[in-house]
Amino acid sequence: MNTHDRWSSLLALSMTACFTLGCPADDVAESSSGDADTETGDGDGDGDGDTNETGTADQGDGDGDPGDGDGDPGDGDGDGDTGDGDGGTGDGDGDTGDGDGDGDGDGDTGDGDGDTGDGDGDGDGDGDGDGDVDVCGDGMVSGDEVCDDGINDGSYGSCNGDCLSAGPSCGDGEINGPETCDDQNDDATDGCLGSCEIPHSCLTISNYDDQLGDGTYLIKPDGFDGDPLEVHCDMSTDGGGYTFLKVNPEQAQFAADAETYCAGRGMQLWIPRTEAHLLSGWAIANDGTIGPDASVNYMRILGIYPSQQGASCSQQPMNSSNINCGWGASDGEDWWVHEVNNISEPNGDNSTHGSMYYDWNMDGSISWHNDIAGDGYSSDRFMCDVGDKYP
């Protein structure tokens, strides 16, 4: 008996035993003289797809290509699939699959969970399982971030550069960035505005909040290094923002001395800008609840001087609208005392640093004024103003 007949007899006996006694599924042994692969599967043994043959019919090489022994593509396991682990479909495990060898059937190399990445199953690579990639600076709060202001991260009033906390800002109790104060409240009267700015005048406060009312406020004028000054703010006249500091030096002061005192606080001797402003000053001067006390003498001397020694403004209105008047405000801005033309003073006996004395009617209108040479008149009271509010 030749070799071929011997193998055919053995195969016939094996098949007869399986039909008679029963064989476990997918447990028929295969062998070939071609590819030398031994597999288990549901095929026909010779790779020709015929599961019901005996003898020498359609001899195969184990690769699904009958009888050539060349190892061309076949199914290798007898299940009818092409590929034997050499680059065709299938991964060599005997099952139709994706060819990647990881057993998950998705065709991708990985961990068997269906994605490549960090093992959390969401495929984003950040390990938090939320499916989002956490990137500080993208303008989106995600993962462990508490804030994310995008390109502004790390700047004043924005998120810190790591997106894990807020950056320096107004209200954190620390002076940083453009701040000049930070008392963590919005009280505009206490010398630190809610914008973390120290107000240098009532106008600063009015610009911060134009709904604030008349009253006592703390300010720190430009150039003044002392503690904040308690002043009265007129928040209604001419749109609001006039500053008043009533001063009682307890001894008479000439205008030059009063100017020095005011300048030491970043201010100047008071200058009424309009008729309404003058009447507001009159009311404040005579209000004992504002400043040290009530007295008409707070308006006895003013920051208004002759433009040159000997200048006159006799029998004509004293205000900046009268171009024929030889007097003016110390800062060159608008000023207003009256519109009458029946007062014969100032007649020219004066100096450029001396103030007239002013006498007022009970309603705050002018009664009389007069100039004299030298240091001018003095007063035991006066008022200072920042001088930044104009009509």
- DSSP for 301-316, please give it: S-SEEESSTT---TTS
- The H-or-E segment that residue 327 falls in is strand 327-329
For the chain, give every domain's residue range. Answer: 1-97, 199-391
Please give the average per-residue pLDDT across 75-81, as a whole number. Answer: 45
So what's the pLDDT on residue 371?
98
**What pLDDT was estimated at residue 354?**
97
**Mean pLDDT over all residues of the chain?**
79
CATH 3.10.100.10 fits 199-391, yes or no: yes
% pLDDT > 70, the chain: 66
Hey, what amino acid is at 220?
Answer: K
Q: What dihedral angle (degrees, nearest 10) is formed by the CA atoms of 81, 86, 90, 92?
A: 100
Q: What is the mean pLDDT of residues 137-153?
A: 84
Residue 93: per-residue pLDDT: 46
Copy the structure tokens of residue 374.
């030298």
Model confidence pLDDT, tens digit, residues 169-179 = 899 999 999 99
pLDDT, position 297 = 98
- Model pLDDT for residues 172-209, shown as the tens digit of each residue: 999 999 999 999 999 999 999 999 999 999 999 999 99
Is there a contact between 282 and 359 (Cβ–Cβ < 8 Å)? no
d(CA 225, CA 87): 86
Instruction: Count the residues in the chain.
Output: 391
pLDDT for residue 390: 96
Q: Looking at the predicted structure, is the pLDDT value of residue 150 above 90?
A: no
Separation between Cα atoms, residue 196 and residue 291, nearest integer Å: 27
pTM (whole model) above 0.85: no
Average the pLDDT over 284-311 and give the result: 98
pLDDT at 148: 86
